[in-house]
Amino acid sequence: MILTATVWPAPLPGGHVRFSLNGHTISGCRTIQTDPYGTAICHLVQHTVGKSRLKAAYLGDGRSAGSTSKQLIDQVRWGLRLHGHPSLRTTVLRMTLGCAPRSRGCRVLAALTTKSTTRRRSHGHVRRVRRPVTVASMTARIQAGRTRTLRAQVNARGRRLLAKHPHLQAKLTISLMLNKHRTTVTTRTLRNRPDIGRDRR
C-alpha cells in the first residue's frame, strides 16, 4: 500500500510528515521529508485483514505550526507474511509464507534475481554491462489462514552463476498478485554459500 500526503502551500525545505496506522506511528514513516511540491510518500505492507485507520501529520516548519489530516478508513482484504528467513541451499530456494485469516486467499509470486556481467562491443570498444538475471521464480496459491513452505529450483543459468561466483548475492522479491496488479510485500538479500551450486549426492 502506498500512502501519499500533500501539504499546501508547499512547506519550506526540510518539512516532514508522520504517518500513523490505528493510532500508532508506522515504522519507517515517522519522519518522511516532503518534496518541492509538498508531497510525502509512505510505503506500508499490511499483514492483517480488516479496517485500518490512517492519518498523516505535518510536523511544522519555520512558518507553520503543523497540522493533522482527517482520519481515512481503509478496508484491507488481503494479507501475506514471510515467516522466518528464506534460504538458498543446494540450488533450492525455500521460504515459508502465511496468508492472513479472513482474507480472500493469496496468490504469490516470488522471484530471485542477481546481476550478470556481459561484454558488448560498440564502435570498436568493448565494455562491460551488468544486467539483472532471474535465477529462480515460482507462483503459488495459499488459502486464507494457512501457511505453506514453498520451494523452487534454481534454473540452469542460475546454477552456472552460483557455481562460478562462490559469494554471489541474489535479491528475493515476494509479491502478492491482485487481479492483474502486483504488490511487493518484501525483499530479502540472499548470499550464496560454498556448497550452493553443487548438487549433493
Residues 47 and 91 in one domain: no
Domain assignment of residue 200, yes or no = no
Dump pLDDT digits (tens) for 36-79.
888 998 877 665 656 778 999 998 877 777 888 988 877 666 67
Where is the domain boundary, 26, 45, 76? Answer: 76
Domain assignment of residue 14, yes or no = yes
Predicted pLDDT at 201: 41
Residues 184 and 89 in one domain: yes
Predicted pLDDT at 79: 76
Residues 93 and 49 in one domain: no
Residues 174 and 153 in one domain: yes
**E strands of the chain, at which residues?**
2-6, 16-21, 24-25, 32-33, 39-43, 50-58, 67-68, 72-76, 80-89, 92-99, 106-122, 125-142, 147-153, 169-178, 181-191
Domain assignment of residue 118, yes or no = yes
Q: Looking at residue 121, which CATH number applies to its domain?
A: 2.60.40
Q: Where residue 95 falls among pLDDT bands split at 50, 70, 90?
A: very high
Residues 108 and 59 in one domain: no
Predicted pLDDT at 47: 58
Residues 36 and 89 in one domain: no
Residue numbers of the domain that contains 35: 2-76
Predicted pLDDT at 163: 80
User: How many domains in the chain?
Assistant: 2
Predicted pLDDT at 8: 85
Residues 89 and 173 in one domain: yes
- Asked whether the predicted pLDDT for residue 194 surpasses 60, the reply is no
Residues 136 and 182 in one domain: yes
Residues 48 and 133 in one domain: no
Domain assignment of residue 196, yes or no = no
Residues 47 and 125 in one domain: no
Residues 132 and 42 in one domain: no
Dump pLDDT digits (tens) for 140-190.
999 988 999 999 999 998 888 888 877 778 999 998 887 777 878 888 998
Residues 91 and 181 in one domain: yes
Residues 6+ apart with CB under 8 A from 158: 91, 112, 114, 133, 134, 135, 136
Dump pLDDT digits (tens) for 125-151.
767 777 889 999 999 999 988 999 999
Predicted pLDDT at 50: 63
Domain assignment of residue 201, yes or no = no
Q: Amino acid identity, residue 201?
A: R
- Asked whether the predicted pLDDT for residue 193 surpasses 70, the reply is no
The whole-model pTM stands at 0.61
**Rounded to an integer, what distance in angstroms lies between the CA atom of residue 196 and that of residue 167?**
10
Predicted pLDDT at 200: 42
